[in-house]
Amino acid sequence: MDLKNKTILVTGAGGFIGSQLVESLLAEGAYVRAFVRYNSRGDPGFLKLLPVELSQRLEVISGDLRDKSAIYDAARGCELVYHLGALISIPYSYRHPAEVAEVNFMGTLNVLMACRELGTARLVHTSTSEVYGTARRAPIDEEHPLQGQSPYSASKIGADKLAESFYCAYNLPVVTVRPFNTFGPRQSARAVIPTIITQALSGTTIHLGNVDTTRDFTYVDDTVRGFLLAGSTVGVEGGVFNLGTGTEIRIGDIAERIALKVGHKVEIMVEPQRLRPEKSEVFRLISDNRQARIKLGWEPQQVGLDEGLDKTIAWMRLHIDLYRPGKYEF
């Protein structure tokens, strides 16, 4: 599918990955409807950072994923839908599991129903590596058991299974992408790399949760390229694709690497309130990305870890006013 001149809906468009996907789609020549969660400030999130020259083909729509009619109206006339909208904070899901379940599960159901009723040519549904839980085998392929170790991961497992069911029951042309730990400019401090960087830029102490867990970090440009391929590659409907580098790094080690890049010594401290409940902690995530390589032609590490960290640190230096360094963000 050629994305040029296509009308495309992106939910979660004001967020970290969503805004950069919108920017890439516009650069490809698409017309984009950006669905963002309504707020009284009329704040479109990071879409306000997009180059002015791209905004002529952008329409911003405010609403709520739980509003079926809002989703239907936004999706009408769109040939391709990217569904990224979700409540993504794991600590928030411990406190508000009902809201997270409703937004992530019922919101996805509304998107699926709208696409089915409207005959959308393709839906790209966003999963997360958190659905795998702690690796039972490594690297983790798409056949790995799904484990709901937090209310957030359980809500995403449910959403993934809804997408699978609509493909099987209604032949809805849905493709699921499962990013591992994406990082880069515009990411909120709910994620570990911005948490480390903002604290390192602002002081000499970094407060973290479990520093012995390992994660597979992918720079946002690579993740967005995976989304583009999932929307345009012929014959991959019904597929699930891991987007990860296939390498892992300990959280404590990445904190030390960032501290060196920032240029001063820091003390890394474990803060009890940042620890997940024992049975909820995901100790190891590392992707097997062979399916994405073979079927999508996706190659990770167009931007490697060190270069990506340098880009992210530089961006956060310029935008440190957007963060509250040291405050635990739920």
| Structural domain includes residue 276 | no
pLDDT on residue 10: 98
Structure tokens, 19:
């805004």
User: For residue 253, how many other CB atoms are within 10 A of its CB?
Assistant: 12
| Structural domain includes residue 261 | no
Percent of the chain with pLDDT over 90: 89
- Among the residue ranges 11-15, 46-50, 131-135, the one predicted with the least confidence is 46-50
CATH code for the domain of 171? 3.40.50.720
Yes or no: say if 82 and 231 are a contact pair by the CB < 8 Å rule.
yes
Judged by DSSP in three states, 112 sits in helix
pLDDT on residue 143: 98
Q: What is the mean pLDDT of residues 90-104?
A: 97
Residue 330 banded pLDDT, cuts 50, 70, 90: low
CA distance 290 to 298: 9
Catalytic residues: 152
Which residues contact residue 178 at a Cβ distance below 8 angstroms, ignoring those fewer than 6 apart?
Answer: 127, 128, 129, 131, 142, 240, 241, 242, 243
| Structural domain includes residue 271 | no
Mean of the per-residue pLDDT values for the chain? 95
Residue 329 has pLDDT above 80, yes or no: no
| Structural domain includes residue 277 | no
CA distance 58 to 9: 10
| Structural domain includes residue 265 | no
- Residue type for position 51: P
DSSP 205-269: EEEES-SS-EE-EEEHHHHHHHHHHHHH-TT-TT-EEEE--S--EEHHHHHHHHHHHHTS--EEE
At 3-41, the pLDDT tens digits run 899 999 999 999 999 999 999 999 999 999 999 998 878
| Structural domain includes residue 315 | no
Between the alpha carbon of residue 137 and those of residues 117, 143, 177, 292, the distances in Å are 39, 11, 20, 19
Higher-pLDDT residue of 182, 55: 182
At 239-262, the pLDDT tens digits run 999 999 999 999 999 999 999 999
| Structural domain includes residue 148 | yes
Structure tokens, 291:
């399916």
Yes or no: say if 219 and 198 are a contact pair by the CB < 8 Å rule.
no
- Domain, as residue range, for 68: 7-184+218-247+285-302
| Structural domain includes residue 313 | no
Residue 264 banded pLDDT, cuts 50, 70, 90: confident
Q: What is the mean pLDDT of residues 111-131?
A: 98
pLDDT on residue 219: 98
Residue 265 banded pLDDT, cuts 50, 70, 90: confident
Which residues contact residue 152 at a Cβ distance below 8 angstroms, ignoring those fewer than 6 apart?
Answer: 87, 88, 89, 90, 92, 93, 100, 104, 130
Q: What is the mean pLDDT of residues 258-269?
A: 91
Q: What is the mean pLDDT of residues 183-188?
A: 96
Q: What is the mean pLDDT of residues 176-201?
A: 96
- Number of domains present in the structure of the chain: 1
Q: What is the mean pLDDT of residues 198-211?
A: 94
Residue 326 has pLDDT above 70, yes or no: yes
pLDDT on residue 137: 97
DSSP state of 197: H
At 211-221, the pLDDT tens digits run 999 999 999 99
CA distance 202 to 133: 32
